[in-house]
Homo-oligomer: A and B are copies of this chain.
Amino acid sequence: MRPFLFHNPVKLYFGQGSLRALNKMLQPQQKVLVVYGGGSIKRNGVYDEVMGKLRELQVEVFELSGVEPNPRVETARQGITICKKENIALILAVGGGSVIDCVKLIAAGALIEEDAWAIPTQKVKVKDALPFGVIVTLASTGSEMNNNSVITNSETNEKLDWASGYVFPQFAIADPRYTVTVPKDHTVYGMVDIMSHCIEQYFHNETNTAIIDAFATGILRTMIEVAPKLVAEPENVVYRETVLHASTMALNGLLTMGVYGDWGSHMVEHAVSAIYDIPHAGGLAILQPHWMRHFVDVNPARFAKFAVDVFAVEQEAKTLEEIAYEGIDRLSAFWQSLGAPSRLADYGIDASRFDDIISHVMAEDTPSAFVDLQASDVRAILEKSL
């Protein structure tokens, strides 16, 4: 492994009733900007529960709603304007990864003079951020326990990842009850996303990574066990709890101790969904198995280990490549069994804008760690995904 720094200062309050942590985290008369999405929290009661708590704690509440599924810089700008004008002390994200990612940009953008888009484009270096907390309502991105953010600019069709040591949430409240009413499709997308994060981080070029290998494959096996049960019984809060726990652990830095994750599939997917606005994990379910098949030859032993440790693929009388492909097939079949899409055609996407997608991927200056994506690789992966 590589020398590394692991530092994750987030206070994770996990479990039923965790909203009471706000008692410690907020002060009376504090100005709090509550940020949320399209209103599902109003339909499922989370909004009322949170607002009731905020009234009880006598904080001064401001609101920003309407954060998009692929959160836009335009929306973050609205939040930044409120923070600057009202002198907001703390931002509270109530939602899934989109809302949390948007709040990260609001928190950092509120303390710079430049336009917020300068942050994801790395024209401005983040040196501070407003404190913010999270009440997570979707098990998926793990954004509640990390310092990553993905933001879309609909004018330029760009969807950019950025990160800063200043945008760890101060606290995250993860109550599985708040995820019980997530509809089936988004529940499945979330579960694909969690597994995809483990896979992106599992494929690297370091050796001697036994502990993180065990953590990643342990989360994946847990997901394989619980995901079908949750699909069959979506209101089961115990299954929701396991999946929510998996999501916070899958992308909080633990799985990249000593390695760089690859994130090639994510880069291709971000390019696709920047153009077509499809659900992120829907795209991943299609693209990642093809990324894997395309690159088996880079390290067949690693892919075979994945197959054995995650899917218990039998090894006897098989080549490493055979074991590897069987593991990938099992993964793809598993995601389909949950109801995830398997072809770009499922979203009505054809090859007509492949050149645009490839240009987007190539424009990203982050090299993948396991194998550096070339335009020809991206094209091959896209074509197999049709």
Contact indicator per residue, chain A 233-255, by CB within 8 Å of chain B (1) or not (0): 00000100110011001000010
Segment at the B interface, from A49-57, A129-137, A215-223: A215-223
A160 beta carbon closer than 8 Å to chain B: no
A276 beta carbon closer than 8 Å to chain B: no
A42 beta carbon closer than 8 Å to chain B: no
Separation of A378 and B105 alpha carbons in the complex (Å): 56
Q: Which of A253-267 contact B (CB under 8 A)?
A: 254, 257-258
Q: Is the CB of B7 within 8 A of A14?
A: no
State how many copies of this chain the complex holds: 2
Separation of A219 and B215 alpha carbons in the complex (Å): 8
Separation of A216 and B188 alpha carbons in the complex (Å): 27
Q: Is the CB of B211 within 8 A of A246?
A: yes
Q: Is the CB of B11 within 8 A of A208?
A: no
Closest to A239 in B: B208
User: Chain A: interface residue count, which band?
Assistant: 35 or more
Contacts of A221 in B (CB 8 A): 214
Contacts of A1 in B (CB 8 A): 15, 241, 245
A226 beta carbon closer than 8 Å to chain B: yes
Contacts of A254 in B (CB 8 A): 254
Separation of A217 and B215 alpha carbons in the complex (Å): 10
Specify which of B6, B8, B210, B222 is in contact with A214 (CB 8 Å cutoff).
B222
Separation of A7 and B11 alpha carbons in the complex (Å): 5
Segment at the B interface, from A16-24, A32-40, A120-128, A364-372: A16-24
A225 beta carbon closer than 8 Å to chain B: yes
Q: Is the CB of A258 within 8 A of B15?
A: yes
Separation of A238 and B208 alpha carbons in the complex (Å): 7
Q: Can you identify 14 A-B contacts, CB atoms within 8 angstroms?
A: A1-B241, A1-B245, A2-B15, A3-B14, A5-B12, A5-B13, A6-B11, A6-B12, A7-B11, A210-B225, A214-B222, A215-B215, A245-B257, A254-B254
